[in-house]
Structure 1
Amino acid sequence: MSGPLATVALADDQALVRAGLRALLERQGIVIAFEAGDGEALLAQLRDTPVDVVLSDIRMPGVDGLEVARRLRDASDATPVLLLTTFDEPDLLLQATEAGARGFLLKDAAPDDLRDAIVRLAAGETLLQPVSTDPVRARYRYHADDAPRDLFTEREVAILRLLAGGYSNKEIARAMFLAEGTVKNYVSTILDKLDTRDRTRAVLKAITLRVI
């Protein structure tokens, strides 16, 4: 008999939502290692019970899902965070990216999509385009003068996508089998091509210009 597809820590401030997600995921071969009603309790339990993926509501009282992702990233904890929300707001995708979350889904996503997202995050992938990026492009529209100075190489595009996932230079280096200094040089080149010194702004501009 094969083992579970992934083990998950589940956080949502609504007990009924947690119960529904647990029942749904366990039927699909996902093991819920533990549940928490808020981000603080989740982080405390996570110290003693490692999991493959953290599945958290993005909006919770106290420590919310964004703060969970931020604290794990700041602690160099590579456990991927998949955020769920009922809010179809482009800005939330950007906030999730900035916080270091590796995935973002609306709560009305199909059950199979949720299962696949968990499995893919457990395998090291990043899923941060659950909503259309068109509203993002409309809000952060750039003129022709703002187009990149030079075309991007395939490797630069790959690094930009990891930047969009909130990866640090060290994490990008490990993922792409490069020296950290080499990644730093690539990032500098990317920022220069996008005429910005800010990583978050570079990601916004890359989305707007359809580089990623």
Structure 2
Amino acid sequence: MSVRVALADDQALVRAGLRALLERHGIGIVFEADSGTALLAQLATQPVDVVLSDIRMPGMDGIEALTALRARGDATPVLLLTTFDDSDLLLRATDAGAQGFLLKDAAPEDLRDAIARVAAGETLLQPVSTEPVRARYRFHDDSAPTETFSEREVAILRLLAGGYSNKEIARSLFLAEGTVKNYVSTILEKLGTRDRTRAVLKAITLQVI
């Protein structure tokens, strides 16, 4: 069954381009919205599998719409399109409940795969290019980590950035799931973060990965 998508962007030409691209890849567009307000109104009557939304829109932007969506109990996965030109963008979107981020200049295959993975329940950070993040994004605490990271810990961080679960990481690295859980706990402690997403963002910023 085709993934059903709601497409939100204030630019009609962008929406038309995305619709044509996604439909060529077998992804159905249930409706389009030109603002966060319009997106919320249509989602109330037209459920979808994934929301693909630009972050920057006049009036209610993508993150504000996401916040309102979660506040009313709607857990529809949201994939945000971004150019990473806002210093607090990633943390704001993560805190609001976004399942993924995608650069606007991503390849068509990356967009298709990102939508499929988010629809399947994954959290996706893999399409994030590290260089734009490092150049334009600054974590609230820019201090270097007090401890170094082993090669295995860096490998696990990279898999975390791809949205892999502990079980998937264990299978990929031929480790016990409990061992991976211990590694993740150590990584969070070293980075001084409380969750996996923030750990990945800080590791990217500090050039650990």
Common topology (TM > 0.5): yes
Is 1:37–2:34 an aligned residue pair? yes
Q: Is the 8 A contact 2:52 2:79 kept in 1?
A: yes
Q: Is the 8 A contact 1:81 1:103 kept in 2?
A: yes
Q: Is the 8 A contact 2:5 2:50 kept in 1?
A: yes
Q: Distance in 2 between matches of 1:29 and 1:199?
A: 32
Is 1:79–2:76 an aligned residue pair? yes
Equivalent residue, structure 1, for 2:51 = 54
Residue-by-residue CA offset, 1:65-103 (whole Å, 9 max, x unaligned): 111222222333211111113x24373333322322111
Structure 2 counterparts to residues 1-212 of structure 1, below 5 A: 3-4=1-2, 6-85=3-82, 87-89=83-85, 91=87, 92-133=89-130, 139-140=138-139, 141-143=142-144, 146-147=145-146, 195=192, 204-205=201-202, 207-208=204-205
| TM-score normalized by the length of structure 1 | 0.67
Q: Distance in 2 between matches of 1:137 and 1:110?
A: 21
Q: Is the 8 A contact 2:84 2:132 kept in 1?
A: no
Deviation at 1:117, TM superposition (A): 0.8
Q: What one-letter code is carried by the residue in structure 2 that aligns with 1:30?
A: I
Deviation at 1:209, TM superposition (A): 6.0
Runs of 4+ in 1 over 4 A off after TM superposition: 134-138, 188-212
Question: How many pairs does the alignment contain?
Answer: 187
| TM-score normalized by the length of structure 2 | 0.67
Change (3 A) 1:74 1:133: farther
RMSD: 3.9
Q: What one-letter code is carried by the residue in structure 2 that aligns with 1:89?
A: D
Q: Distance in 1 between matches of 2:126 and 2:25?
A: 23
Change (3 A) 1:108 1:134: closer
Q: Distance in 1 between matches of 2:31 and 2:71?
A: 23
SS at match of 1:23: helix
Deviation at 1:129, TM superposition (A): 4.0
Deviation at 1:55, TM superposition (A): 0.7
Task: Give 5+ residue unaligned stretches, structure 1.
Answer: 166-187
Change (3 A) 1:199 1:27: closer
Deviation at 1:191, TM superposition (A): 7.3
Q: Is the 8 A contact 1:93 1:129 kept in 2?
A: no
Change (3 A) 1:129 1:66: farther
Taking only the aligned residue pairs, the percentage that are identical comes to 72
Q: Is the 8 A contact 1:90 1:136 kept in 2?
A: no
Q: What one-letter code is carried by the residue in structure 1 that aligns with 2:85?
A: E
